[in-house]
Structures are given as C-alpha cells and as structure tokens.
C-alpha cells in the first residue's frame, strides 16, 4: 500500500466499521483536506450512493486550522456510488473509466476541512 497525504486521514479511513444508513455522514479524505457527503441510498452491504453536502463556514478564525462548518443537504448534487472492496476499503466507481482510488472515505462522520498550510 502506498501512503499519501495526511497520516491522520489515512488512519481514519481504516477505522470505520459502521453499517451504512441513509442520511449518515461520509467524509472524503484527500491529501490533507476533507469534503462532506451524505448517504442517499444503501444498495447492499457493499454498495452505497452518496451526495456531496453544501456547507458554510461559521467560525471567525480566518486562515487557521480551527474551523467550524454548518452542513446543508444538497438535493440537486451529483450522486456517486461507493463500493467496499474485499479489504474493507470504500472506493468510488467512476463511470466506465473504472475505479478512482485517489480518495479515501470515512463512513459515519461528515467533515469539511481545508488545510491552511497550502
């Protein structure tokens, strides 16, 4: 396995053993940033549909690591299908181009974070 980005993000991706439910939060982990999603459909034990949330920053901390966000559902947002590999990792299927393994996914928590060091 190749490590990339934030160690915290990589560890969090492996720690969620929750059973997905509609409305549950999902976090996409990028290099060191995070993006919020919600589960819109549980297809079966290994397939779920998710949709990106809208968000608004509500703190007054400026360009800092201390960030607070308000999340709102996005009914018009594009839906993605995630599936769980045999190794237990959630990945995104991208149309007919195969699988996008560049992001990690945390099931059960919704979080937005922008790394201020970039």
Q: What is the per-residue pLDDT across 20-51, written as a single tens digit (0 to 9) for each?
A: 999 999 999 888 889 999 999 999 999 999 99
Q: pLDDT grade, residue 79 (50/70/90)? A: very high
Taking 90 as the threshold, does the pLDDT of residue 52 lie above it? yes
Taking 80 as the threshold, does the pLDDT of residue 93 lie above it? no
pTM, rounded to two decimals:
0.78
Neighbours of 92 (CB within 10 A): 16
Taking 60 as the threshold, does the pLDDT of residue 15 lie above it? no
Residues 40 and 79: their CA atoms lie apart, in Å, by 8
Taking 60 as the threshold, does the pLDDT of residue 3 lie above it? no
């Amino acid at each position: 396995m190749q490590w990339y980005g934030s160690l915290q993000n990589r560890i969090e991706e492996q720690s969620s053993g929750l059973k997905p439910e509609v409305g549950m939060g999902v976090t996409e982990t990028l290099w060191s940033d995070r993006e919020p999603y919600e589960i819109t459909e549980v297809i079966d034990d290994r397939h779920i549909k998710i949709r990106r949330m809208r968000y608004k920053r509500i703190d007054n901390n400026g360009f800092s690591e201390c960030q607070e966000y308000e999340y709102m559902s996005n009914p018009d947002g594009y839906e993605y299908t995630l599936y769980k590999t045999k190794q237990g990792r959630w990945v995104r299927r991208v149309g007919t181009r195969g699988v996008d393994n560049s992001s990690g996914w945390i099931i059960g928590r919704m979080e937005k974070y922008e790394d201020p060091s970039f």
